Structure 1
Amino acid sequence: MTDFAQLADALWRAVTYVSVAQLHLESNPLLTEPLVPEQVKNRPSGHWGTVPGVAFVLSHVMLAGASIDDELVPIIGAGHAGVAQVAMAWLTGDLARVRPRFGADAKGLSRLVAAFPDLDGLGAEVSPSLPGGWYLGGQIGGALAFAQGAALDAPDRILVPVLGDGECETPATAAAWLTGRALADRTRVLPIIQVNGFRMGSQSLLGAMDDDALRGYATGLGWRSSVVHLNAAGLGEHQSFRAALVAAVTAVREQLPTAIFLRCTKGWSGPAELAARPLLGTPLTHKTPLTDPRRHPDQLATLRQWLASYRPAELFTANGTATGALAEAVRVVQGRVRPRRTARHSSAGEPPTPVRYGCFASAVTAVLRKHAGDGDFHLFSPDELASNRLGDLAQEPWATEVLAEEVLLSWLAGWTATGRRGLLVSYEAFAPLLLTGLVQLLKQYRVMAASEKRPSLNLLLTSYGWHNTYTHGDPSLTTALLATQDPAVRVLTPADPSRLAVVLDRALNSVGQVNVILAGKHPTDEQPLETVEQECARGLAVWPHTSDDGEPDLVILAAGDLPATIARPAALALRQRRGLRVRVVGVQDLTTLGDPAIWPSGLSAAEIRHYFGATAPLVIATLGHRAAVWGLIEGRLRRPVTVIGWCEPAGPMSQHRLAETAGMDVAGLSAAAERLLTARWAGEGRRALSADGNTSKARTTTPVPAEPVDGIPA
């Protein structure tokens, strides 16, 4: 068998060579003939600076993984390393599995370089469809925490996040070094930090440290570390890194937190200079350092030399298949980098029989203990379980609290990526910190194959602004997520603790969704349970206990526990004062109000008539921003509509005053309904006037409202 260093060198050279070819070439990727301008891309584009270091680490980790019993799973943290990920996947055949036209031969490679960066929907950055892309790198900084979550309670798996030195400056990565202590000896992670000295355009903070300072930084955070230098592309570098990797894996197996700092020059192995201007080790190598080889002979000559430096004739046959040490290396690594996943439920199934719970805490505790009994559940929270009246769960082995929202989300994402189920419980006010990460995960879900769908990401947001201090009022997360119009999003608004239990249970059993559950920890009214099954099946239901029979004069939609609490007395007041037929509809999934062409649970036109009546005006009471509801119903409800929801207060005020100011009380809801009805009757009077000319009658029976009303159709 060929020496390990020779295998690693052949694999690294091949990945790096194919990366350079993708960035620059239009054809002739194997240099079977002299390279001419027409074979070069008209406008080379993409990122080069991080490629050689990432390719080096991937080659070693994949080869080393074949010789140990544990899974050794690389996680690429830098999205800009996507070109190296694609190159490795082309060599191993993983690319052809998802895009068959890019086979591991000369024709496939020719198609690949011609297509890059538009790879039939894969994109030019790290993709979850390919090995190493378990974590989607669009949100820089989350890879270390993601790896910690994926490795949690997985003793046969070592996660190897490949980080950049600039990435270590992000809050998520900086916090993950420290918060990893909360996982104690239950996770095995081996971070490898590529210290090439630069971020995108300036020197990195880690890059400015010497070796002693790097080791001291790691030691202070509780990590052992070693520093490996890559000064050339020779076998000695491969042997040094191999030794460091073996030692680190041994330490990690013994539950000793260990990291490797890999020093390599930015753009390592690329052109050193161009037109007497230094390139190597400068920000100029972050993207393609040769910007126009087609039209500049000196750049074309440099590109020829650059490609030839990887000695492609030693790596590939004339038909593009691997040969020699590369062929042996490819055989070793094929199929070694897709981590095993635990199969979970494919759907929520039938809703459980509703059980009456007296409060938020008892409902949540009962459901979580049931799921924890299955052995594949974990609860994450930013030090708020006690505050949210769930303090009895804080000491459970399946619960973890650290004060770092972004880290918790990445832990949850890594945990669910392995096929296990989890929940993040947080204050509503702090949840907007999660937005960037959630949007990136939604992007990842979109490009994953249906067969790779993971258990859903579940968030339970409580302690919302209606019952909190001035600084703790911000429902922006749900507003922003609904604005993405991503069909994987669910905003769930159970009306009481009994419904919360059913909703939470279903969310934990679902797959491929981002479920945001809004539920207050404070006591609220309990509604009859007769419609729970329909609410689960369809996302909403008419509540018979507080609705009149027949065609309604007015419909009140209650989305959430506070709206549900005020809907019933408001309906009673309107019924008594106006003699109206009022219908109250409980909304459990806010996305049912959206267009069914976008939202899987969206109501059809026929269902809108069924639930809301033919023409009755609607008062919609929601926990979050009114804008979120308007975005869902835009153009769908051809009738008068008003929305009551969160209004940002001008300053600190009492809970009662806040509700009164926003109209989220019985008086406010009743007044909104009165204005809506008055405006509707005024419109009907004006239409009657235009028909019969009876000015006197119109003026005495249809008073014009004193203020404008939302949603009155023209």
Structure 2
Amino acid sequence: MNALADALWRAATFVAVVLVHFDVPPTLHERTFNAKIKARPAGHWGTVPGTAWALAHTALAAGVAPPERELIPVIGAGHAGVVQLAYSWLNGHLASIRPQYTRDAAGLAQLAADFPQVSGLGAETHPLLPGGISPGGCLGGTLAFSHGLAMAAPERIAVPIIGDGECETPTTAASWLAARTLDPCRVLPILHLNGFRMGSRSLLGAMTETELEAYFSGLGWHARVVRVDGDALEAHRAFSNALADSIQDVVAGTKSTVVFSCVKGWTGPESVDGIPLLGTARLHKTPLTLVRDECGQQELLERWLVSYRPAELFDRDARPVGVLAEALNAAVWNRGTSIWPAAEGGSEGLELVRPKGFGDAVAEVLVKHAAQGDFHLFSPDELQSNHLGSLASAEWTSEVLAEEILLGWLGGWTASGRRGLLVSYEAFAPLFTSGLIGHLKHRRLAGRAKTPSLNVLLTSYGWHNTYTHGDPSLATALLATEDPAVHVLTPADPHRTAVALDSMLESTDNVNIVIAGKHSKVRIPELTIKQEMARGLAIWPHLSDPQEPELTFVAAGDLAAAVISAAVPNIRRQLGCSIRVVGLLDLTVLGDPRRWPRGMTDAEVRHFLGERSPVVIATIGHPAAVWGLLAGRVRRPVRVIGWREPRGPMPQQALAHELAFDSEGLLQAAIELTTTSRQEPCPNR
């Protein structure tokens, strides 16, 4: 086993060095020539040897695991993409999705020539390749994601490979402790401890072995520390034993981690031009940037490549031979995708006994979905506050006061084909922004894989909260991405919130954000609910005149629906205008249909908003989000009323008045718009 691990590790590290430095790789028995070296070698090196080591042992351990046990490697460092590419080329997976990268000299040459722009895959970790199931881009989420992946799946052991720099992020640091709430959850982290962050020494890297063991013990984890400093085969033996023992611990319910300590950039050049490199931050990227032009760097590169003894691993056509071929046959690369059977038949349509408040309506939906066995609810210790306290003790509920960790758990849970919901306050939701955008990028790379949607329910918006708890920025940021997978839903009452949740929990490949007030008492007639769900908006006949409107109001959200419902009768009396009221469920309906799947066509704009009617849009979020969606497409007078930062703390009624989000503000907007539109007050009917 140790010889097999050594062969895999040497081969992957050798290929990684080739990809970074060569346009056309040398044959295994010739010296390097200038014409074959990249003009500007580019790529990350510091994480390569340790990540390659951890992946080799994980794949071999998966190969000898019993049939009922699955080990899934989860790469934490996006910069380890070159290692992922190397292994994917070696095991043939890369050729299965990109046929030009055959497992021979021609395929390696093509891969080297294309690196770092590898045929739509790039040079960072990718979801289509083994180990790439966790989203990159937001450092620190891999451990939490792995817990979500392994949650309630006793046959599965997630093996996140995380760096000591990543351990300094708040999400990773808290994830070790938060795991106490998840028993049983089989996660075996491999901590790649090379002593450095990107540019300076890491905090964990400065600890002694005793201090490391004590640190993790205090968090509830048993740490086995393995150091590499000398005989590689002996280090492989020690690591293999530590990994095997830790796997048994994890199966038995003990939280265990393997700390793999090595020198940063180990096996790379010790120095260049007299400048020490090995064990310094200078080896974060390749140190040989002038190798085409400087003979000294060419000699360093030759010695570097030869140190992996590639002639023992490959034939002249770069095909694996001997112990490497044996190792590749023994290794198993579990990808961890689509590993949960879909619920048969889906969920039946929602039938609620009405009317219900927010808590009862939402709880009924979640209990129904939980009964299918593949649903989990995540919340940052706010279920009681959000009127969902009856769900806090359910076995399918997890609460911990760390939003980023919850998002990681949800991401891992849904990535394995299961459905979930994260409930939080709107004010804290901006903490999700980087993680959600990372998920969007990750899913975009993976394609529409029919993975359950990532679902978030936000409550306690700023209109009904304290001064410090008003921030609708998450929805604004996600809409600004113009990613067609994004849906921001603003249901008008608790029943619509329940129906929207029921639908989105059955959806796939989306990122759904529902924003709803937990105190909402507004009740809108149910006649148009089906159209709102199908098209994202509907004309509300109970508030609208039957003829062509001279003024149109659009309600985005329950509070907007309540304010417009109260204001419209008075506005109609004062201005004598024909009025139409439209309920807007999905904000993306306002967007350009060339970018947003639910965007209104020009004909639909005229149908819903009227031929030439000025429009007042009331939104519980930022007006900027609405203006960004409209992008000048609605060629008529428009006023958007929504959240703006108030000048300071004030009562809710005063806040609404200051932001013109009340009957008086809507009346004033109506007067100004109709005057601008017609240069005279609206005529009497």
How would you bin the TM-score normalised by the shorter chain?
over 0.9
1:466 matched to 2:463? The reply is: yes
**What does 1:127-206 correspond to in 2, within 5 Å?**
127-183=126-182, 185-206=183-204
Matched with 2:504 is 507
Residues 1:476 and 2:440 aligned together: no
Instruction: List aligned pairs for 1:652-663, cutoff 5 A.
Output: 652-663=649-660
Task: Give the match's secondary structure for 1:72.
Answer: strand
Change (3 A) 1:486 1:205: same
User: Which amino acid counterpart does residue 630 of structure 2 have in structure 1?
Assistant: I
Q: Letter of the 1:14 partner, please give it.
A: A
Report what 1:421 is aligned to.
Answer: 419
Paired residue secondary structure (1:460): strand
Tell whether the 8 Å contact from 1:24 to 1:40 is kept in structure 2 after alignment.
yes
Once the two structures are superposed, the pairs formed by residues 287-306 of structure 1 within 5 Å of their partners are 287-306=285-304
Q: Give the deviation of 1:673 after TM superposition.
A: 0.9
CA drift of 1:480 comes to 0.7
Contact 1:316/1:322 (CA < 8 Å) preserved in 2? yes
Q: What is the identity percentage for the equivalent residue pairs of Structure 1 and Structure 2?
A: 54
Contact 2:338-2:415 at 8 Å conserved across structures: no
Alignment equivalent of 2:237, drawn from 232, 236, 239: 239
Q: Name the structure 2 match of 1:705.
A: none
| 1:629 equivalent in alignment to 2:626 | yes
**Partner secondary structure for residue 531 of structure 1:** helix
Residues 368 and 586 of structure 1: CA distance in aligned 2, closer, same or farther (over 3 Å): same
Equivalent position of 1:61 in the other structure: 58
- Match for residue 308 of structure 2? 310
- Name the CA shift for 1:626/1:20 in 2 (closer, same or farther; >3 Å): same
Determine if the alignment matches structure 1 residue 619 to structure 2 residue 607.
no
Q: Which residue does the alignment assign to 2:399?
A: 401
Cα distance between partner residues in 1 of 2:285 and 2:207: 24
| 1:493-504 to 2 correspondences below 5 Å | 493-504=490-501
**Structure 1 position 356, deviation (Å):** 2.5
Query: Paired residue for 1:488?
Result: 485
Q: Does 1:39 align with 2:36?
A: yes
User: How far off its partner does 1:352 sit?
Assistant: 4.0
Match of 1:357 in 2: 355
Q: Which amino acid aligns with 2:380?
A: P
* Cα deviation 1:277-312 (Å, max 9, x = unaligned): 211111111000111100000000110110011111
Q: Is the 8 A contact 2:133 2:335 kept in 1?
A: no
Alpha-carbon distance in 2 for matches of 1:66, 1:334: 5
Over 3 Å counting, the alpha-carbon distance change for 1:212 and 1:382 in structure 2 is same
In 1, the alpha carbon distance for the partners of 2:47 and 2:477 equals 32
Partners of 2:27 and 2:450 lie apart in 1 by 37
Code of the aligned partner of 2:592: D
Give the letter for the 1:154 counterpart: A
- C-alpha spacing 1:29/1:535, structure 2 compared with 1 (3 Å): farther
Structure 1's 491 and 347: CA in aligned 2 closer, same or farther, altered over 3 A? farther
Report matched runs for 1:668-679 at 5 Å.
668-679=665-676
> Is the counterpart of residue 519 in structure 1 residue 516 in structure 2?
yes
Within the alignment, does 1:229 sit opposite 2:227 as a pair? yes
Q: SS in structure 2 opposite 1:370?
A: helix
Residue 335 of structure 1 deviates from its aligned partner by 4.7
How far apart are 1:232 and its partner, in Å?
A: 3.4
Q: Which residue of 2 aligns with 1:379?
A: 377
212-221 or 134-143, which moves further after superposition?
134-143
Q: Within 2, Cα distance between the matches of 1:115 and 1:434?
A: 34
Matches within 5 A, 1:580-599: 580-599=577-596
**Residue identity opposite 1:167 in structure 2:** E
> Deviations along 1:323-376, whole A, 9 cap, x unmatched?
001111111225544455114379999964565232101110000000000011
Q: Give me the whole-angstrom Cα distance separating, in 1, the residues matched to 2:177 and 2:293.
A: 51
**1:276 shift after superposition:** 2.1
Q: What is the letter of the counterpart of residue 109 of structure 2?
A: S
Q: 1:192 to 1:334 in 2, by over 3 A?
A: closer
Q: In structure 1, what residue type is equivalent to 2:541?
A: P
Q: How far apart, CA to CA, are the structure 1 residues paired with 2:344 and 2:483?
A: 20
* TM-score normalised per structure 1: 0.93
The CA deviation at 1:575 is: 1.5
Using the TM superposition, give the Cα deviation of residue 137 of structure 1 relative to its aligned residue in structure 2, in angstroms: 2.4
The one-letter amino acid of 1:453's match is K
2: CA distance, partners of 1:16 / 1:233 = 17
What amino acid maps onto 2:241 in structure 1?
Answer: A
CA deviation profile, 1:214-247 (whole Å, cap 9, x unmatched)? 0010011111111101113621111111111111
**Given that residues 543 and 584 in structure 1 are in contact (C-alpha distance below 8 angstroms), is that contact kept between their aligned partners in structure 2?**
yes
| Matched residue SS, 1:646 | coil
**In the aligned structure 2, how far is the partner of 1:334 from the partner of 1:94?**
11
| Mapped partners of 2:344, 2:551: distance in 1 | 40
Written as runs of structure 1 = structure 2, the 5 A alignment for 1:67-82 is: 67-69=64-66, 70-82=69-81
* Aligned partner letter, 2:80: A
Q: Which runs of 4+ in 1 moved over 3 A?
A: 29-32, 334-340, 343-355
Structure 2 CA distance for aligned equivalents of residues 348 and 603 of structure 1: 29
Cα distance change, pair 278–6 in 1 and its aligned pair in 2 (3 A):
same
Partner residue of 2:561? Answer: 564
Q: Which residue of 1 aligns with 2:571?
A: 574
Q: Indicate the larger mover: 21-30 or 243-252.
A: 21-30
Report how far residue 29 of structure 1 moved.
4.1
- Cross-structure match for 1:532: 529
Structure 1 counterpart of 2:258:
260
Residue pair 2:417, 2:452 contacting (<8 A) in 1 also: yes
SS at match of 2:505: helix
Cα distance in 2 between the residues matched to 1:339 and 1:529? 39
C-alpha separation between the residues in 2 aligned to 1:425 and 1:670?
A: 35
User: Is the partner of 2:161 in helix, strand or coil?
Assistant: strand
- Could you tell me how far apart the structure 2 residues matched to 1:679 and 1:349 are? 50
TM-score by length of 2: 0.97
Q: Distance in 2 between matches of 1:291 and 1:536?
A: 56
1:383-429 CA deviation, whole Å, 9 max, x = no partner? 10001111111011111110000000000000001100000100000
Task: Count residues with an aligned counterpart.
Answer: 681
- 2-side partners of 1:440 and 1:142: how far apart? 10
Structure 1 residues 124-165: Cα deviation after superposition (integer angstroms, max 9, x where no partner): 111111000011222111100100111100000111110101
8 Å contact 2:59–2:333 — kept in the other structure? no
Residue 105 of structure 1 aligns with which residue?
Answer: 104
RMSD over equivalenced CA pairs, Å: 1.6
Q: Which amino acid aligns with 2:229?
A: N
Consecutive unaligned residues in structure 1, runs of 5 or more: 686-700, 703-714
SS at match of 1:316: coil
Helix, strand or coil for the counterpart of 1:253?
A: helix
Paired with 1:363 and 1:528, the residues of 2 have a C-alpha distance of: 16
Q: Is the CA contact (8 Å cut-off) linking 2:136 and 2:442 kept in structure 1?
A: no
- Decide whether the 8 Å contact of 1:102 with 1:111 is kept in 2: yes
Cα offset for 1:194? 1.0
Q: State the shift of 1:524 in Å.
A: 2.2
2:526 is paired with a residue whose SS is coil
Task: Specify the SS of the correspondent of 1:533.
Answer: helix
Q: Which amino acid aligns with 1:661?
A: E
Q: 2:271 maps to which residue? A: 273
The answer (yes or no) to whether the contact 1:575–1:581 under 8 Å persists in 2 is: yes
SS at match of 1:491: strand
* 2:320 alignment partner, SS class: coil
Q: Deviations over 1:570-614 (max 9, x none)?
A: 221122122211000000001000001111100000110111111
Are 2:631 and 1:641 aligned? no
